[in-house]
Amino acid sequence: MISVGIVGGTGYTGVELLRILLRHPQVTVRMLTSRTEAGRAVADMFPSLRGHTDLVFSDLTVDALKTCDVVFFATPHGVAMKYAEDLVAHGVKIVDLAADFRLQNLADFETWYGMKHTCPELLKQSVYGLPELNRAHISKANVVGNPGCYPTTVQLGLAPLLKEQGLIDLNSIIIDAKSGVSGAGRKADLGLSFTESTDSFKAYAVAGHRHHPEIVEGLNRIASTQTEFKNLVFVPHLVPMIRGMLSTIYIDLTEQGTETDLQSLYETFYQHEYFVDVMPHKSVPETRSVRGSNMLRIALYQPQPKKLVVVVVQDNLVKGAAGQAVQNMNLMCGLSEQLGLTGIALMP
Amino acid sequence: MISVGIVGGTGYTGVELLRILLRHPQVTVRMLTSRTEAGRAVADMFPSLRGHTDLVFSDLTVDALKTCDVVFFATPHGVAMKYAEDLVAHGVKIVDLAADFRLQNLADFETWYGMKHTCPELLKQSVYGLPELNRAHISKANVVGNPGCYPTTVQLGLAPLLKEQGLIDLNSIIIDAKSGVSGAGRKADLGLSFTESTDSFKAYAVAGHRHHPEIVEGLNRIASTQTEFKNLVFVPHLVPMIRGMLSTIYIDLTEQGTETDLQSLYETFYQHEYFVDVMPHKSVPETRSVRGSNMLRIALYQPQPKKLVVVVVQDNLVKGAAGQAVQNMNLMCGLSEQLGLTGIALMP
Amino acid sequence: MISVGIVGGTGYTGVELLRILLRHPQVTVRMLTSRTEAGRAVADMFPSLRGHTDLVFSDLTVDALKTCDVVFFATPHGVAMKYAEDLVAHGVKIVDLAADFRLQNLADFETWYGMKHTCPELLKQSVYGLPELNRAHISKANVVGNPGCYPTTVQLGLAPLLKEQGLIDLNSIIIDAKSGVSGAGRKADLGLSFTESTDSFKAYAVAGHRHHPEIVEGLNRIASTQTEFKNLVFVPHLVPMIRGMLSTIYIDLTEQGTETDLQSLYETFYQHEYFVDVMPHKSVPETRSVRGSNMLRIALYQPQPKKLVVVVVQDNLVKGAAGQAVQNMNLMCGLSEQLGLTGIALMP
Amino acid sequence: MISVGIVGGTGYTGVELLRILLRHPQVTVRMLTSRTEAGRAVADMFPSLRGHTDLVFSDLTVDALKTCDVVFFATPHGVAMKYAEDLVAHGVKIVDLAADFRLQNLADFETWYGMKHTCPELLKQSVYGLPELNRAHISKANVVGNPGCYPTTVQLGLAPLLKEQGLIDLNSIIIDAKSGVSGAGRKADLGLSFTESTDSFKAYAVAGHRHHPEIVEGLNRIASTQTEFKNLVFVPHLVPMIRGMLSTIYIDLTEQGTETDLQSLYETFYQHEYFVDVMPHKSVPETRSVRGSNMLRIALYQPQPKKLVVVVVQDNLVKGAAGQAVQNMNLMCGLSEQLGLTGIALMP
């Protein structure tokens, strides 16, 4: 059994990790830390866990974390990098669900997250945790930066087009993304209140979203380029739903792209991927088809001969966060990648 | 034209007063105060008002308020009673949407609101603002305590039964009430966040709700009794909807009650009331049928010979708060009671 | 492995059975019938199942069903009773999720469901499938009538009070119940459309609900009485949420009842029940705490010395339908009762 | 007073016309037709209208309609064109809320609506009813084709850019549009049911939407071009909300466009328009800011030097349908354009 610690267990990614890991056949959750809730029974805070766990929130103690095989950081940005070196030195594997190990570009990290990176050497050795594109490296990694939710949809949505050169105009990409409200985290915030956000729709972060540089870095990694995607446009929107994320991606095809059977390209690219579902031509993926599951579904349309539209859906808290983190843990620990993650979406 | 001031304009009752009063043909809204937003354009905070008003939030200055004909307090409990005597002395009429002038029983006020009443003499002269039951007194009042939302549904839902003696067992009343989330006010509160409260349902305030003593006092007033309704049970629930309140009231009928045509009793009782709609027998009132309007609808069922069920719906922010406050203002100022309040519910 | 057939797989209980049974370690779903969809891939109709099953809807053929160990009927009322005798004669165990085997009183069945019962002899041998109250009989049954969703909450919510005589006034019970919209089934119906039912709340079936006689029969069974609960009042309401059911039950306590520690009574009564959670005193159960899980939670309040309020929540599609059906199957087949049913609620 | 008839009064645009017109100071609604509901009180079908009208649905009789000054067709496509010539010949003015008089291109009409146009001559004389762009012609028109909801947002969102030549690449336009569910009309449809569409998000009509040709024709009209916008991409999405529409429009700017102060361009273009609100730079329009009102709000972002994003919100049933229809009626009848349309959005 793998013993797991979760740092920051009171947010949505923390409780979602618990939901998954408490049913994982090879995992024991040993500790769950919270600055504010130490000493409180976890099931008292989250009644959905009543009957399923006797865990009690504990203070964050590095010594205690060192006894774990794997530690998940479900914390604000900047926490994991404080403890990572010490833990890794003691043989603990780390999956950070925040941004500390997502961006290799330190300047971007500082600009978008407003802090200096405190362990740039470890960052260099860390691995970007998108298993479908990066499986081999993750298997050997000690530190994995779990991707942001939007970047997961965009990278998996575009990878087949980027791995083969010459199919698209790399500077034409427009991402119109939509997220359920849980993506904003578990917090008291007027703008996220029921009364303010239900029965309404809006764009947000129009001045720039932190996932923008992660998307650009990720696409360059996939395309084996370095300075492309500079004109990428990314506009996120807020949908009055709890979970779910849908990205509509608009791409200009090249001549070569228009002559390619893109549906086949995608189906072949992902044919062995359990968690990526390329839907039949003209399917309409709904976010609810992945609610609570680690699946990500893709559909393609070609509304104009030279225009491709890629629609990607996932559950932002599962494939977009906690589920993918467990997928990474499975790989890092030599387990079957799907273990604990085969739950079926809750529909309706 | 009547010049109006609104104290506390940043909550939902404040902005709802504005929505109504900016279209009221006999009213000029002269000022809107806010401690935190003074100097800010109201339409900047509430974009729904863009194009409809140039008002700017101002500090609360008693001297400025004294220039108004009517002042609405859309403030937390305990604010109106600080200013009321001074304003009344200067001829200003007051409608308090908080609880300062709702309860004549001072002990109840102190127990449930955790503060001493600072102007008990004025309280005695103030009038409880339920126009359908108290019209004559409101017309002559200087200070009106605008009823709570739940108490409005219960009192109007039971009045026809109480005005005629002997129809029901006064100690049998059970109120199972349901409210939309806006009833909790405009605030940053984790429990009221979209993610925490949508697609779910719960009871709340099971240890006792502040509207309980107001309901009991109100029913005694209607029934011309003093110490009845001691066993009243009132359990409020939270519905994942923005506006709307539905109270399901269960009553044991007496022998006399079972022999009475209660549907006719209600229809006759409310036949001249514009804002109270007694629906035909076996109708099923929906909260959306009053969304945004000042209407309150009532339906009766008799599932057992001796059991009456009264269902009452209203918009908690209109008939349950701001609309009723304007109805009171109309009466206090000698205007037609319906002025500015004839808007039709937004459906769908 | 137990081979299972599901008759009527296109409704919400059908697809929910699939969600559970496809992950059940001792079950193979051999067939899924649908009159209208025969030949269509199940995952084509329910994309949430893509990647999880290759099942294809088939026509209902009795001979094929006879090859199954267990057949679930997730059909309209009146279907199971057509096939039950034949199947049972061939050793097939049956769980009917409709009402054919719920009511022992044939007159009630005919009155409320508008049809004659076609196998009254088999009905007499069938067992009412509420495992917590009826486990021993279910284990030996060939035919189980799976309880209605509302009756499940009411019977489990009142059982501890009824098993001990003299605690409550049996004729005082009022049930104010609230259900999510999925309870109405999967169908094209204007009144159930998003635009008609979101952001609103209403009572329904005020002239009488089919679960009323089932509740009365069930409570008499529990209390070992025959003709009590005649004055029971049951008013269901529709909540704008997908899944979830909350029943608020009002009861008059007897003198003896007021002197009993009811919280302890409930905790003791259910101490060995995995799926029934008696929450600590003054807890506020939310429906989302059981979303997608087979748990049922109970909380008690005593707002007046002689008035008890019992609040019960469950997921209407799981403990209120498909989950309880699988719980029954487990018992009928000699498996651990919890097998395949330990999934944790999806929260948020 | 203008006497009005509404043909097809049982859909959402019909009841929304009623909500507006029953409060219009210069209008008497004389009749409301329905094939299926003739003889039924309108307020019986729509309880939100109880107390506000005694109208009864009537059969569609041309002779009766001829007695009206204005007739609105809130009917399926193809109905208005059957009656229009006869009514116009008798001096009746017509506003069609369906598509019969939206497209001047007959081939497009036949292709997208699957029927032949039966009065092409009258179509030529009819006027496209987008008042902000077409006011003079509407004022003199006998027949107005009320624009589709999506085309209204796109045309008003792009007009300032198109009236001045050379600012944008006309072939770069991508419209990612999102609509509330009421846009699909009032009907029994499984896909539109609450349980199927709440807490989820999806694209739809990906194979092509009927508003596509209307948008293209409209943009050519505005730009005084004929064959541009051929590569336009338009992908609509369904938001789990009742009312509201938001279009996110992506445009490539020309060199000249990048050198223009586009915010000023928009503010100047719409400075005298009551119903079009150009919000300050970086504003984030929410659909709820126009809920129930005839306002349309626009905001601009420039995420990349050569990329402009225009976000437009409106209430699809008001400015996107019934409100705009009344705005057209006001113009056609020589009334103030704003009459009856100054209601403030319902917020929250």
Q: Give the per-residue pLDDT at D333.
A: 98
- Calculate how close chain A gets to C317, using CA atoms only, in Å: 9
C303 has pLDDT over 90: yes
Q: Give the per-residue pLDDT at B247.
A: 98
Give the tokens for residue A62.
Answer: 């590095």
Residue the block writes with tokens 């959306």: B288
- Calculate how close chain D gets to A241, using CA atoms only, in Å: 4
D 213-232 residues with CB < 8 A to A: 230-232
Q: Give the per-residue pLDDT at D48.
A: 97
Helix (H, G, I), strand (E, B) or coil at A134: helix
C283 has pLDDT over 90: yes
Integer-rounded Cα radius of gyration of chain D = 20
Q: Give the per-residue pLDDT at B282.
A: 84
Q: Give the per-residue pLDDT at D274.
A: 98
Question: Measured between alpha carbons, how far is residue A243 from residues B228, C206, D236 in Å?
Answer: 49, 35, 20
> Which chain C residues touch D240 with a CB distance below 8 Å?
194, 198
Q: Does C109 touch chain B (CB under 8 A)?
A: no
User: Could you give the CA distance from residue B286 to residue B244 in angstroms, rounded to a whole number?
Assistant: 9
- Mean pLDDT computed over every residue of chain A: 97
pLDDT digits (tens, 9 = 90+) for D94-115: 999 999 999 999 999 999 999 9
C 39-68 residues with CB < 8 A to D: none
User: Could you give the CA distance from residue A140 to residue A144 in angstroms, rounded to a whole number?
Assistant: 10
Residue the block writes with tokens 């059977």: A261
Alpha helical stretches, state H, chain C: 12-21, 42-45, 62-66, 80-89, 106-113, 120-125, 131-140, 149-163, 194-197, 211-223, 255-258, 262-269, 323-332
Q: Which chains touch A (3 or more CB pairs under 8 A)?
A: B, C, D
- Calculate how close chain C gets to A299, using CA atoms only, in Å: 12
Note the maximum CA span of chain A: 63
B307·C233 Cβ contact <8 A? yes
User: Could you give the CA distance from residue A254 to residue A168 in angstroms, rounded to a whole number?
Assistant: 5
D133 has pLDDT over 90: yes
Rounded to 5 degrees, what angle do the CA atoms D78, D81, D83 make? 120
pLDDT digits (tens, 9 = 90+) for A78-117: 999 999 999 999 999 999 999 999 999 999 999 999 999 9
User: Could you give the CA distance from residue B190 to residue A188 in angstroms, rounded to a whole number?
Assistant: 4
Residues B240 and B196: beta-carbon distance below 8 Å: no
Residues B73 and B98: beta-carbon distance below 8 Å: yes
Residues C300 and C253: beta-carbon distance below 8 Å: no
Helix (H, G, I), strand (E, B) or coil at C271: coil
Give the tokens for residue A95.
Answer: 């999956």
Closest by CA to C245, choosing from B196, B202, A243, A44, is B202
> Which chain A residues touch B184 with a CB distance below 8 Å?
195
Integer-rounded Cα radius of gyration of chain C = 20
Size of interface B-D (CB pairs under 8 A): 92
Closest residue on chain C to B212 (Cα): C303
Residue C232 is given by DSSP the state -
- Calculate how close chain C gets to A110, using CA atoms only, in Å: 32
pLDDT digits (tens, 9 = 90+) for C43-66: 999 999 999 999 999 999 999 999
pLDDT digits (tens, 9 = 90+) for D43-88: 999 999 999 999 999 999 999 999 999 999 999 999 999 999 999 9
Give the tokens for residue D149.
Answer: 């909801």
User: Could you give the CA distance from residue C331 to residue C93 in angstroms, rounded to a whole number?
Assistant: 11
Residues B275 and B341: beta-carbon distance below 8 Å: yes
Rounded to 5 degrees, what angle do the CA atoms B215, B220, B221 make? 95
Q: Give the per-residue pLDDT at A282.
A: 84
C50·A289 Cβ contact <8 A? yes
Burial D10-26 (b: 16+ CB within 10 A, else e): bbbbbbbbbbbbbebee
- Calculate how close chain D gets to A182, using CA atoms only, in Å: 12
Q: Which chains touch B (3 or more CB pairs under 8 A)?
A: A, C, D
**pLDDT band at C207; cut points 50, 70, 90:** confident
- Calculate how close chain A gets to D99, using CA atoms only, in Å: 23
Helix (H, G, I), strand (E, B) or coil at D89: helix
Residues C215 and C150: beta-carbon distance below 8 Å: yes
Minimum-distance CB partner of A274 among C15, C51, C291: C51
Q: Give the per-residue pLDDT at A9.
A: 87
Residues D300 and D309: beta-carbon distance below 8 Å: yes
Is cis: bond before A348, omega within 30 of 0?
yes
A39 has pLDDT over 90: yes
**pLDDT band at D20; cut points 50, 70, 90:** very high
Q: Which of A169, A170, A176 to mutate to test the interface with D (most CBs of D within 10 A)?
A: A176
Question: Measured between alpha carbons, how far is residue B23 from residues A166, B45, B342, C225, D277 in Å?
Answer: 60, 19, 11, 62, 19
Q: Does B199 touch chain C (CB under 8 A)?
A: yes
Minimum-distance CB partner of D202 among A230, A240, A286: A286
Q: Does C36 touch chain D (CB under 8 A)?
A: no
D282 has pLDDT over 90: no
Q: Which backbone phi and psi does C315 adopt, to 5 degrees? A: -90, 120
Question: Measured between alpha carbons, how far is residue B73 from residues A279, B9, B93 in Å?
Answer: 57, 9, 11
> Which chain C residues touch B239 with a CB distance below 8 Å?
201, 239-240
C47·A23 Cβ contact <8 A? no
Closest residue on chain B to A45 (Cα): B191
User: Could you give the CA distance from residue C337 to residue C181 in angstroms, rounded to a whole number?
Assistant: 28
Q: How far apart are the first and last CA of chain B?
A: 34
Closest by CA to B240, choosing from B292, B190, B200, B186, is B200
A 264-283 residues with CB < 8 A to D: 282
Minimum-distance CB partner of B282 among C206, C232, C301: C206
Total residues belonging to chain D: 348
Pairing between β-strand B202-203 and β-strand B174-179 as defined by DSSP bridges? unpaired
User: Could you give the CA distance from residue D229 to residue D209 in angstroms, rounded to a whole number?
Assistant: 15
Give the tokens for residue D117.
Answer: 């146009």
D27 forms beta bridges with: D2
Amino acid at D270: Y
Closest by CA to D75, choosing from D147, D13, D15, D28, is D13
Q: Does A290 touch chain C (CB under 8 A)?
A: yes
Closest residue on chain B to A185 (Cα): B195
Minimum-distance CB partner of D186 among C190, C192, C198: C190
Q: Give the per-residue pLDDT at C9.
A: 87
C190·D194 Cβ contact <8 A? no
Domains annotated for chain B, with CATH where assigned, are 2-125 (3.40.50.720), 150-315 (3.30.360.10)
> Which chain B residues touch C234 with a CB distance below 8 Å?
303
Residues C74 and C8: beta-carbon distance below 8 Å: yes
Tell me the whole-structure pTM to 2 decimals.
0.97
A207 has pLDDT over 90: no
User: Could you give the CA distance from residue A229 to residue A211 in angstroms, rounded to a whole number?
Assistant: 14
Burial of B91 from C-beta contacts in 10 A (0-12 / 13-18 / 19+)? exposed
Closest residue on chain B to D53 (Cα): B344
> Which parts of chain B are beta strand (E)?
2-7, 27-33, 70-73, 93-96, 127-128, 143-145, 174-179, 202-203, 233-238, 245-252, 276-278, 296-304, 307-314
Minimum-distance CB partner of B242 among A181, A182, A199: A199
Q: Give the per-residue pLDDT at A64.
A: 96
- Calculate how close chain C gets to A279, using CA atoms only, in Å: 9
CA B99 from chain center: how many Å?
10
Q: Does A346 touch chain B (CB under 8 A)?
A: no
D250 has pLDDT over 90: yes
Closest residue on chain A to C272 (Cα): A51
Question: Measured between alpha carbons, how far is residue B127 from residues B186, B218, B273, B328, C295 in Å?
Answer: 27, 12, 20, 10, 50
User: Could you give the CA distance from residue C19 to residue C322 in angstroms, rounded to a whole number?
Assistant: 9
Closest by CA to C94, choosing from C105, C82, C103, is C82
Q: Does D12 touch chain C (CB under 8 A)?
A: yes
Closest residue on chain D to C185 (Cα): D195
Q: Does A211 touch chain D (CB under 8 A)?
A: no
Q: Does A202 touch chain B (CB under 8 A)?
A: no
Interval A140-161 mean pLDDT: 98
Amino acid at D124: K
B108 forms beta bridges with: none
Q: At what angle do helices C106-113 and C211-223 cross, to 10 degrees?
A: 160
User: Could you give the CA distance from residue D215 to residue D145 in angstroms, rounded to a whole number?
Assistant: 14
The per-residue pLDDT string of chain B (348 residues; one tens digit each, 9 = 90 and over) reads 999 999 998 999 999 999 999 999 999 999 999 989 999 999 999 999 999 999 999 999 999 999 999 999 999 999 999 999 999 999 999 999 999 999 999 999 999 999 999 999 999 999 999 999 999 999 999 999 999 999 999 999 999 999 999 999 999 999 999 999 999 999 999 999 999 999 999 999 998 999 999 999 999 999 999 999 999 999 999 999 999 999 999 999 999 999 999 999 999 999 999 999 999 988 999 999 999 999 999 999 999 999 999 999 999 999 999 999 999 999 999 999 999 999 999 999
**Quick count: other Cβ atoms within 10 Å of Cβ D258?**
15
User: Is D333 among the catalytic positions?
Assistant: no
Interval D136-149 mean pLDDT: 98
Residues D31 and B328: beta-carbon distance below 8 Å: no
Interval A166-188 mean pLDDT: 96
Catalytic site residues of A?
Answer: 149
D48·B288 Cβ contact <8 A? yes
Residue A66 is given by DSSP the state H
**Sign of the four-CA dihedral D5, D9, D14, D19:** positive
Q: Does B116 touch chain A (CB under 8 A)?
A: no
Residue the block writes with tokens 């006064």: B170
Give the tokens for residue A260.
Answer: 């390619």
DSSP code per residue over A2-58: EEEEEE-TTSHHHHHHHHHHTT-TTEEEEEEE-TTTTTSBHHHH-GGGTTT---B-B
User: Could you give the CA distance from residue A174 to residue A118 in angstroms, rounded to a whole number?
Assistant: 33
Residue B165 is given by DSSP the state T
C322 has pLDDT over 90: yes
B128 forms beta bridges with: B145
User: Could you give the CA distance from residue D42 to residue D37 in angstroms, rounded to a whole number?
Assistant: 9
Helix (H, G, I), strand (E, B) or coil at D302: strand
Q: Give the per-residue pLDDT at B207.
A: 87
